[in-house]
Copies of this chain bind each other. A is one copy, B any other.
């Protein structure tokens, strides 16, 4: 079996690949892998079933064509996208699990493809981004981070490695420059001022929901894109599903009311994929046990991945045509 949990299927039925078989990756534009790990969660676990839920969210799309109506591209055909199954990540063994994931991501990047990682809790952003960055010079990978939370705590729940801390670890390690790290959708009551002080010192820029509401998300994105485009080889896009309002994406671990709508997040990741050079992506914190019976969170996460791939496909098509 190539998946750790759930039926042994690929994302919407695309071809399988194996990370230990270079020929299966040859020519791939993007490689999807699952990171079914939730050992870093502080509260509701269950994101280990995220990859399975996102892959199978819509069997109506288990066809050979899935054309994006608005963009006029077929993301899983215009791009060559394969699914390499899950990385084996037992949730009780955090260090080994994250290590395996980083190696998997690096293998994909080395093969010339864009890694698309289906989480899993947000701890996985650490190996996801590290795995991409190590194929570039230090600080040359910028990050666009959609989330309700900053994930920049220093120490939480008695440890330095969990889903509250990955962004700090990345910046501390010099993997990513703080002033090329933009967060969109923050809100609520965590973390405290000391953490925001640290973030400001690193030159991070964040868009709290009040600002997004007041200025409009497109203005914020314009500004964010200007920041991350400078002196960088490309962008890692990390999307925590809890950036969306919990009523529209209830299947997640740490809900915070007042988020983006599902329409807004789809439009936003589309713009990222159309306008920025995407080097990698992860889609995290989908916890199906808290989802609605109609699985709306899994559908939304499935569509965020498809929307991103569609944008990439469109961008490439435009470049080719130009």
Asked if A22 is at the interface (CB within 8 A of a chain B CB), the reply is: no
0 or 1 for each of A1-26: is its CB under 8 Å from B? (1 = yes): 10001111100010000000000000
0 or 1 for each of A118-154: is its CB under 8 Å from B? (1 = yes): 0000010000000000000000000000000000000
The segment out of A167-175, A220-228, A286-294 that lies at the interface is A286-294
Q: Is the CB of B213 within 8 A of A296?
A: no
Asked if A186 is at the interface (CB within 8 A of a chain B CB), the reply is: yes
Q: Is the CB of B6 within 8 A of A255?
A: no
Q: How far is the CA of A311 from the CA of B40 in the complex (A)?
A: 33
Given contacts A9-B9, A67-B193, contact A263 B255 (CB under 8 A): no
Closest residue of chain B to A295 (Cβ to Cβ) is B255
Asked if A267 is at the interface (CB within 8 A of a chain B CB), the reply is: yes
Q: How far is the CA of A72 from the CA of B60 in the complex (A)?
A: 41
0 or 1 for each of A230-272: is its CB under 8 Å from B? (1 = yes): 0000000000000001111111101111110111001100000
Q: Is the CB of A289 within 8 A of B46?
A: yes
Q: Is the CB of A61 within 8 A of B299?
A: no
Q: How far is the CA of A68 from the CA of B66 in the complex (A)?
A: 42
Q: Which A residues, 65 to 98, have Cβ-Cβ distances below 8 Å to chain B? A: 65-70, 72, 74, 88, 90-94
Q: Is the CB of B250 within 8 A of A296?
A: yes
Closest residue of chain B to A88 (Cβ to Cβ) is B158
Q: How far is the CB of A105 from chain B (nearest CB, A)?
A: 20
Give the chain B neighbours of A248 by CB distance below 8 A. 245, 247-248
Number of interface residues of A (CB under 8 A): 88
Give the chain B neighbours of A91 by CB distance below 8 A. 38-39, 41, 45, 91-92
Q: How far is the CA of A198 from the CA of B15 in the complex (A)?
A: 30
Give the chain B neighbours of A189 by CB distance below 8 A. 61, 66-69, 306
Q: Is the CB of B69 within 8 A of A257?
A: no
Closest residue of chain B to A47 (Cβ to Cβ) is B45
Q: Is the CB of A258 within 8 A of B249?
A: no
Give the chain B neighbours of A74 by CB distance below 8 A. 192
Q: Which A residues, 47 to 71, have Cβ-Cβ distances below 8 Å to chain B? A: 48-49, 55-56, 59-62, 65-70
Q: Which A residues, 264 to 322, have Cβ-Cβ distances below 8 Å to chain B? A: 266-267, 289-296, 299-300, 303, 306
Q: How far is the CA of A193 from the CA of B204 in the complex (A)?
A: 43
Q: Is the CB of A263 within 8 A of B259?
A: yes
Q: How far is the CA of A213 from the CA of B271 in the complex (A)?
A: 14
Give the chain B neighbours of A6 by CB distance below 8 A. 7, 56, 59
What are 23 A-B pairs with beta-carbon distances under 8 A? A7-B7, A9-B9, A42-B60, A67-B190, A68-B189, A69-B186, A69-B187, A69-B188, A88-B158, A91-B92, A92-B161, A93-B94, A210-B267, A213-B263, A247-B247, A247-B300, A250-B292, A251-B294, A252-B294, A257-B296, A257-B303, A258-B303, A291-B293
Residues in chain A within 8 A of chain B (CB atoms): 1, 5-9, 13, 38-46, 48-49, 55-56, 59-62, 65-70, 72, 74, 88, 90-94, 123, 157-159, 161-162, 186-193, 196, 208-210, 213, 245-252, 254-259, 261-263, 266-267, 289-296, 299-300, 303, 306
